[in-house]
Amino acid sequence: MLRLFQKVNRKAKKIASSGPKQVPLPHAFKDISSSLADNEAYLRQEFVDISDIIFRQFYVAEVKFLAVWFDGLINNRVSHDIFRALMLDIPEGQLLEVAKEKRAELINKSFLPFYRTSQVTDLGEIKRWILMSKMVLLVDGCPSALMIDAEDRPQRPIAEPVIEPSVVGPHDSFTENIRINTALIRSRLGDAMLKSEDYIIGRRSNTLVTLLYVADIANPKIVEEARRRLSRIDTDGIIDSSHIRELIQDRAYSLFPTMKSTERPDIVVADLLEGRFALVVDGSPQVLTAPSIFIEFLQAADDYYINPMVAWFIRALRYMSIFIATNLPGIYVALVTFHHEMIPIPLVFSIAGARETVPFPAYFDALFLLIIFELLWESSIRLPRVVGAAINIVGALILGQAAVQSNLVSPTLVIVIAISAVANFSLGSGYALALSVRVIRLAILTAGGILGLYGIALTSLAFLIHMAGLRSFGVPYFEPLAPLILKETKDTLYRSPRWDVTDRPALIAGNDITRDNTPPPAPPTDNSSSSDPGSKKHSRRGGR
């Protein structure tokens, strides 16, 4: 297993190292000295009081070498290989023949069987490479050091998507290792126009962030804006991609997500092909893509892997479910409290009969149940897996049933809240949106309880106005719908077959708008059949 992943890893490295690595973050420049002792003293001083760093000295033909790395971040087998190559394979004469200054270059050129190495002349950079889990090799008498990428951090294997599972389509998901993640994307998008730029963000964490975009599709202005926002970040540590998202997204105080984070490589590739950029953050299994529009959060990867007509239905279901999830409890409370005449007669009797013995107003009932639901939701996440089943029983069976039997809530309300909760989780791949819906539902419920349907209309309108004003990297949040771009509703309101969705989203992609030139499937034209009508007839007859 491990070997397989290393393969993937290496493949990724090979491709990635073909371009110049951009390291834009400033650091303290201190030129490397040609005396190994000086350099070692400097590094030892920098890494003082650190127990898990390894300084390994060795001599080859009387030349002193020093390898520095953090224990555990370099593959043991690989480090063994390195030492073997250096200590056993270098012909001593050759090493002594070259000028002292060229030793590092010679080793790099001829004796380091590794994909990614580079020569470094700055002690500050050396220090950072060591911190970023690389091995650095210093050679006595040579004013340049070698960075060897033999990185092998603790990592978990590629697993099934947890947050955005799908029935059909690819079943791999990102891991915490940025190289695996970029490899998963690269392996799906073999295009030289897929550019990647590295950023090292976090004064203390030195986290590697890779900006990916397809150069001849993406809007250069949007990419430039992404660069600008990334380079503006000045923080001490990036632990997860969500930190990056919070630092660069448009409206931090909005309930609605304006950057999508996904754990599915296929979604990232699709987004890249639509002209979006992606941010892969080391240590995070979630890749960010932007610009993001509202509709995206109501779509799932499955939509594109199943029959388009079915996808059309499922999307309609989801649009309905966001309405149910946000509005249903509010509408119920509004009807029961204010608009009694809007409930059909038989229903009004059963609701009134059921509510007869309930002591609290409908609004507090609904609030009570919703808070119970939110508690269950939260506790089922936080609870250790082993105890999870217990909470399910308590939550589903005991709380619901007992609350009704003890007349705390009305049974109709239990149904309403349950439907709303179910709808909440059928919103597509947007877990971010599912989180927002929780809050929106509460707001609409309160408005419905105070002002009835009028209040619900008012609140919905307020949310709508807010959303219509949102932008994600300059792209209107309600893009194809507001502003209305009829052509693009093919992939939003419904889903046309792929050959029909000819264009990329115009407001997102900057160039190369045409995505698909496949002619629509058609039966053989008259031309082909009439070219030899006789033989066709004949063959038909012959067939009988």
Partner 1 sequence: MKRIIPALFIMILPILFYGCWDRREISDLGLVVGAAVDQAELAGKTGVEITLQVANPVVMTAGQGAAAGGGGTGVISGMVPFWTISETGETIRSAISKTNYRIPRHLFWGHNRVIIYGDKAARSGLVPFLDRITRGIESRDNNFIAVSKGDAGKILELESPAFQSTALALNSIFLDKDGWQGILAVDLADFEYRLGTGITSPLAPVVEVIPQTSALFKEKQAGLINTVAITGLAAFDPDGRLVDYFNERESMGLLWVMNRVKNREMTIPHFAGGIEEHISLRQVNAKSKMDVSIGDDGLPVFEIKTQARFDVMEHFGASRGLSDVSVIYDLEKMAASQMINEIEAAVKRSQQINTDVFGLGEEVQRQLRREWPQYKEHWREIYPIVNVTIECETRIRDRQLAVEPPGSRTEGAGQ
Q: Closest CB to partner 1 among 199 and 363? A: 363
Site for partner 1 contains 70 (CB under 8 A): no
CB of 337 to partner 1, least distance (A): 6
Site for partner 1 contains 343 (CB under 8 A): yes
CB of 367 to partner 1, least distance (A): 8
What are the distances in angstroms from CA 14 to CA 4, 125, 493? 15, 22, 42
DSSP characters over 169-230: S------S-HHHHHHHHHTT---TTEEEEEEEE-TTT-EEEEEEEETTTB-HHHHHHHHHHH
Q: Closest CB to partner 1 among 211 and 440? A: 440
Site for partner 1 in 221-280 (CB under 8 A): 253
Pick from 143, 361, 395, 497: which binds partner 1 (CB under 8 A)? Answer: 361
Site for partner 1 contains 190 (CB under 8 A): no
Q: Closest CB to partner 1 among 192 and 342? A: 342
d(CA 229, CA 41): 38
Check: CB of residue 288 under 8 Å from CB of residue 281. yes
From 302-310, 340-348, 375-383, 521-529, give the range in contact with partner 1 by CB under 8 A.
340-348
H helix runs in 274-399, sequence order = 308-337, 345-355, 362-382, 385-392
Instruction: Give the residue among 387, 396, 439, 392 at the shortest CA–CA distance from 414.
Output: 396
CB of 359 to partner 1, least distance (A): 10
Burial class (CB within 10 angstroms; exposed 0-12, middle 13-18, buried 19+) of 29:
exposed
Site for partner 1 contains 351 (CB under 8 A): yes
Q: Closest CB to partner 1 among 349 and 499? A: 349
d(CA 213, CA 287): 13
Pick from 1, 50, 345, 465: which binds partner 1 (CB under 8 A)? Answer: 345
Site for partner 1 in 464-523 (CB under 8 A): none
CB of 335 to partner 1, least distance (A): 8
Site for partner 1 contains 34 (CB under 8 A): no
Site for partner 1 contains 364 (CB under 8 A): yes
Site for partner 1 contains 357 (CB under 8 A): yes
CB of 399 to partner 1, least distance (A): 19
Count of residues touching partner 1 (by CB under 8 A): 26
Check: CB of residue 536 under 8 Å from CB of residue 529. yes
Site for partner 1 contains 401 (CB under 8 A): no
Map residues 419-458 to x or -, x wherever contact with partner 1 holds by CB under 8 A: ------------------------x--x--xx--------
Instruction: Copy the structure tokens of residue 486.
Output: 């009829």
Q: Closest CB to partner 1 among 380 and 401? A: 401
Q: Per the omega criterion (within 30 degrees of 0), is the bond before 285 cis?
A: no
Strand partners, 151: 74
Q: Closest CB to partner 1 among 229 and 339? A: 339
Pick from 247, 273, 352, 468: which binds partner 1 (CB under 8 A)? Answer: 352
d(CA 226, CA 212): 10
d(CA 487, CA 252): 31
CB of 241 to partner 1, least distance (A): 24
CB of 447 to partner 1, least distance (A): 8
Site for partner 1 contains 356 (CB under 8 A): yes
CB of 444 to partner 1, least distance (A): 12
Site for partner 1 contains 307 (CB under 8 A): no
Q: Closest CB to partner 1 among 169 and 361? A: 361
Strand partners, 41: none
Q: Closest CB to partner 1 among 138 and 334? A: 334
Check: CB of residue 151 under 8 Å from CB of residue 133. yes
Instruction: Give the residue among 410, 401, 238 at the shortest CA–CA distance from 332.
Output: 410
CB of 363 to partner 1, least distance (A): 5
What are the distances in angstroms from CA 27 to CA 50, 123, 126, 128, 282? 21, 10, 11, 9, 20
d(CA 411, CA 400): 9
Pick from 358, 419, 481, 485: which binds partner 1 (CB under 8 A)? Answer: 358
Check: CB of residue 362 under 8 Å from CB of residue 413. yes
DSSP characters over 228-296: HHHHH---S---SHHHHHHHHSS-TT-SS-SSEEES-HHHHHHHHHTT-EEEEETT-S-EEEES--GGG
Q: Closest CB to partner 1 among 23 and 404? A: 404
Strand partners, 137: 67, 146
Q: Closest CB to partner 1 among 25 and 354? A: 354
From 88-96, 149-157, 304-312, 362-370, give the range in contact with partner 1 by CB under 8 A.
362-370
Pick from 341, 406, 486, 519: which binds partner 1 (CB under 8 A)? Answer: 341
Residues lying near partner 1 in the complex (CB under 8 A): 253, 336-337, 340-341, 343, 345, 348-358, 361-364, 443, 446, 449-450
